């Protein structure tokens, strides 16, 4: 009898351990989930993912008042690739209340990923862009092609995360800007991603100084 109870207890411990040995991601209400690890997924609240590297593709969906009119905003599809184990994560999107804020989000999607203690989780970010008509998109094929090209947020890519807790100073931002203007720079895509990264991480004062610096050189 005692042996049976011990076996049952061990089984329950194993079951409970396996139930929590994964990554749970809470999605924001103002988002539309498109893909999870290369497969279409329309979950609206919470995801349960395997430990390790995972890739999500989602877009911002929202409404705001602009000059007395109701405006519907649907952003470009944003790719997020991150690694985590046995964690509860939350994705947060900013509040958008104007056309300029919507345009700014499409240029530089301001997304945060935090664990249950409020610590920022690093992730690689990019956009899944398709030129021309957007109706009838084959997202699974698009993300397959994207991941096959080893781009910044591709699954298994060696690129460094673009979202960290580093707070850049103005000198760091200026150095990136100088690289972008250098005539010998050949990889302009990577430079643009670096600029996006440092701008997102900067505080408001640094962003203003950066804008003034750029404008003064035009």
Residues 164-196 have pLDDT tens digits of: 444 444 444 444 444 445 444 444 545 565 666
Helix and strand numbers (H, E) in the chain are 6, 10
SS3 assignment, position 40: strand
Residue ranges in the chain whose pLDDT is less than 50: 3, 6-19, 163-180, 182-187, 189
> pTM for the whole thing?
0.65
pLDDT tens digits along 88-115 = 999 999 999 999 999 999 999 999 999 9
pLDDT (0 to 100) of residue 11: 46
- Structural contact between residues 35 and 154, judged by C-beta atoms closer than 8 angstroms: no
What is the number of residues in the chain?
A: 218
User: What are the sequence ranges of the domains in the chain?
Assistant: 21-161, 166-218
Residue 122, by phi and psi: left (phi above 0), alpha (psi -120 to 50) or beta? beta
């Amino acid at each position: 009898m005692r042996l049976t109870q011990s076996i049952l207890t061990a089984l329950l411990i194993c079951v409970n351990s396996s139930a929590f040995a994964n990554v749970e991601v809470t999605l924001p209400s103002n988002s539309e989930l498109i893909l999870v690890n290369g497969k279409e997924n329309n979950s609206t609240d919470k995801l349960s993912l395997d430990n390790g590297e995972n890739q999500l593709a989602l877009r911002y969906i929202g409404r705001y008042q602009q000059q007395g009119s109701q405006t519907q905003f649907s952003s470009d599809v944003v790719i997020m690739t991150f690694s985590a184990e046995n964690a509860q994560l939350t994705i947060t999107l900013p509040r958008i209340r104007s056309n300029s804020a919507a345009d700014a989000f499409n240029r530089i999607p301001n997304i945060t990923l935090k664990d249950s203690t409020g610590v920022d989780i690093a992730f690689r970010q990019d956009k899944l862009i398709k030129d021309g008509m957007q109706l009838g998109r084959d997202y699974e094929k698009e993300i397959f092609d994207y991941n096959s090209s080893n781009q910044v947020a591709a699954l298994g890519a060696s690129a460094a995360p673009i979202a960290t807790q580093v707070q850049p100073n103005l000198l760091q931002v200026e150095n990136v800007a100088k690289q972008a203007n250098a005539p010998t720079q050949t990889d302009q895509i990577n430079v643009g991603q670096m600029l996006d990264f440092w701008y997102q991480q900067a505080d408001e004062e640094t962003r203003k100084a950066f804008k003034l610096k750029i404008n003064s050189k035009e």
